[in-house]
Amino acid sequence: MSAASLAQSGILLEGMKFAIFIEARILDYSGLGSKCQQFLSNLKTLQTKNEKASLGAVVAFGHDSWKSINKGQGGSELINFVPLGNDHISAPSTQRDMFIHIQSLHFDIVFTLAMQASRIFGPSIKVEEEVHGFRWEQERDTTGFIDGTENPKGEKDRADAAIVPDGPDKGGSYILSQRFVHDLKSWEKLAVHTQEKDFGRTKEKSVELPLDKRNPGAHVTKTDLGDKVVRQSLPYGKATTGEVGLYFLSYAKHLSFHADQLKSMFGGVDGTFDQILNFTKPVTGSYWFAPSLNQLNQLAKTNL
């Protein structure tokens, strides 16, 4: 079987309109494998009933929880998220145990599966982060710039980037998640051409600027990974409080691809920080491993 056919259904989806991101602590590991299977069964039922909704989901684990439930087998590259940066610009670690990512073209279907997940896992987990993401106008982040311009397109290219191709983790994927809070008041005070120099792309059509036309720490320069990761990020926000941001989420076949990008963004390569970090800050940070369907099935068989 191909690696993509063994992967969980939410990894390779493209252009989904809505998502719910759930991060949790695991309080009780007993029966966890069976609960994952129940979640996947409910997912399949909803997919069958709503064929045009393009519903997909992922269950993933942090380093300590995966090591505990899988007895140290698989996910060999997985580590806990390590804080980066300095007192002025930093990426904190809020490493949690379990991650659920649900996405679809329809919010009601996403919400239905999220409620079912809450009932299935119940008191065995403690939810510490629940973010409702939406695809904003013209694929843009709330900063006004198009997000994910260089994302791999099509299932083959996306699978090549996101899915472990062979070995014991075939069909699995390594995940980076960070929730960013934007300072739009400060950002919107900048002239558009200044924003573009900081971002490294034009705002209207997302055309990459030549190196001599952008700042040395332009976002595009600091995050240039080509087609090595599949981004599933979405904006989120609260209209009444004004808190808006981006829930950054990316999948890759090697965790090092995420780590290299973070090192570049937070000054670990040449001492230069990503310029947009002056206007947005991460408030969470975790690495995860999304097991293959085979690995999840094995968890249930071991009566975990």
pLDDT, residue 70, reads: 86
Total domain count, the chain = 1
Please give the pLDDT value at position 154.
94
pLDDT confidence of residue 226: 66
Nearest in space to 109 (alpha carbons), one of 38, 162, 157, 56: 56
Q: What pLDDT shows up at residue 15?
A: 93
Residue type, 4: A
Tell me which of 97, 147, 169, 274 is the catalytic residue. 147
Residue 224: predicted pLDDT: 80
Task: Note whether 36 and 296 are within 8 A (CB).
Answer: yes
Domain residues for the domain of 158 are 3-301
Would you call 147 a catalytic residue per the annotation? Answer: yes
Cα–Cα dist 135/279, whole Å: 21
Helix/strand/coil for 26: strand
pTM for the full model?
0.96
* For helices 32-49 and 293-301, angle between their N-to-C axes, nearest 10 degrees: 130
Q: Could you tell me the CATH number of the domain that includes residue 7?
A: 3.30.70.3420
Please report, in tens digits, the pLDDT of each residue of the chain (304 residues total): 899 999 999 999 999 999 999 999 999 999 999 999 999 999 999 999 999 999 999 999 999 999 999 876 789 999 999 999 998 899 999 999 999 999 999 999 999 999 999 999 999 999 999 999 999 988 899 999 998 888 999 999 999 999 999 999 999 999 999 999 999 999 999 999 999 999 999 999 999 999 999 998 999 999 886 689 999 999 999 989 889 999 999 999 999 999 999 999 999 888 999 999 999 999 999 999 999 999 999 988 775 5
